[in-house]
Structure 1
Amino acid sequence: MTANLLGTSVEDILGEVFDDEPDELFVVNPSADAIESFVDAATHFEGPLPETRLLADDRLLKDVMDDFLVASNTADLIENDVLTLRTADDLSRSSLLVTDDRVVALVTAGDQTAGLVTDDAEFVPVALGAVEGDWDDAEEYTLRTPAISRVRQTLDEEISPEVEGDFDDVMASMETARGDGDGLDEVTVSLLVAAKNRVLLYDISKWGEDVGIASKATFSRTKTKLEDMGLIDTEKVPIDVGRPRLRLKLADDRLQDAPPSELANVAQTILR
């Protein structure tokens, strides 16, 4: 059985695998970085993608999917019938990429990940059978994050093209969207972009609940938090029947002057 080196980064390795155009691909016991790299590579790959079954540690996958940037792109792959997710609590296999004609072991050393590949005609079917068994025994993983394409489409149609463009620019400028100090979460970004465009709180929170980002109550609590921190403000807008609604607006001159691509960085600077 021979083995050859297939790239020295997960992105390079996946690019080689995708270029080979397999019908199916198993991604078994990947690291958090490998999951993120797969989602990024699959999202940006321009050719046909294999039907991929990703089997990961349950807690690790949940942690990775707490990042809206990763989860919303993952949801796109799922909706396009490219990806299926399952989890297990006691995965003991090495990190592997398995197709019907080769097995790639992902070996990490320092900041590099090598892909050691074999196409041995006797070994590959055995490995494929083993990971198929793992898959059959695993639990289905339900991702509740909405697909980013649906988020963009509904923002454009239900709020405005300007808000959708600003939301996209803000998200593109962020490395993570967890709300853990390293990145704002998706609710905060939605409210900041809405405030930049003077959108009604009712409209953005209804959109957010309908598309599956968060409940109206979560939007309301986050709005109050951002008000208390001096990032946004509101003004009452009378309506024909019922209580006046609240129009969102940015409260800090630094945010008002910032282009969308800098809005997240400026907001995090204010919050620190």
Structure 2
Amino acid sequence: MGAADLVPGVSGGTIAFVSGIYDRLINGIKSFDFGSLRLLLRGRFRELFARIPVLFFCALGLGLLTAIFSLSRVLTGLMQTHPVQLWAFFFGLVLGSILLLMKETWRWRAADWTAFIVAAAVTYWLVGHDVVQTPPTPIFLFLAGAIAICAMILPGISGSYLLVIMGKYQQVLEAVNHRDFASLAIFVSGIAVGILTFVRVVSWLLRTWRHVTLVALTGIMAGALRTVWPWKEVVSTRLNSKGELVPLLQVNILPSNAGDIGLALLLALLGAGVVLLLSRLSPDHRDTPPKSA
């Protein structure tokens, strides 16, 4: 998940989904509620730890931080020197996830196909939308945080990519670089409200209409393939913290080098193989519906 979140356009939620921890992640986040806050304020830590899956989040957090700190420079370098090959690997990873989920939810009816097509079409349109210039006001920064974190929860959609579309990526980046803690507090508040609200919606959908929800999530990943297409052309750039120009917005193009196609295909197959390996290593991949907290 940490490695996936380092690549713009790739969602860590996809990895959580195919590795079989998606339900546990949703329910774990859902456990952070007012009841947990009351236990914390009263110092009843034993009851708090029984309510919140602390070991799960510690293991997940350790894995995320390990990937971020160990792979950050590697993936950044590969993005600059071998972008087609890196995107091809993640394209295969997402495509393999889609095929795996279609196999596991194979009993598709007309309603399921409708949910898949609608979810895929909306996601395809959304991730290809032009950048929208929104006012640099606190309310829009708050909403951007809430929307971005909701996207990160869904497999296939990158929250950072939505920040680019909403015209807030640069603003958030500048707030981090300039230590603008007031703006960061507003943004983080939006994240907190968004995640605590949206996980309840996702949990309820998985509990009530699990099959059609899984089909719709598969459609979201299918539509999001647009963001991980290997061949891209940079249409706008930004300055990173080191003063270097890096891509901000890109458009998909057709491949022009036959050699690139062959290597990209091999790496895409490797990405799909990683998904199958993750699935086989996860004994509880076919999770039971989440229980209410």
Q: For this structure pair, what is the TM-score category when the shorter chain's length is used for normalisation?
A: under 0.3
Higher RCO (CA 8 Å, separation ≥ 6 residues): 2
Larger radius of gyration: 1
Q: Pick the structure with more strand per residue.
A: 1
TM-score (normalizing by structure 2):
0.21
TM-score (normalizing by structure 1):
0.22
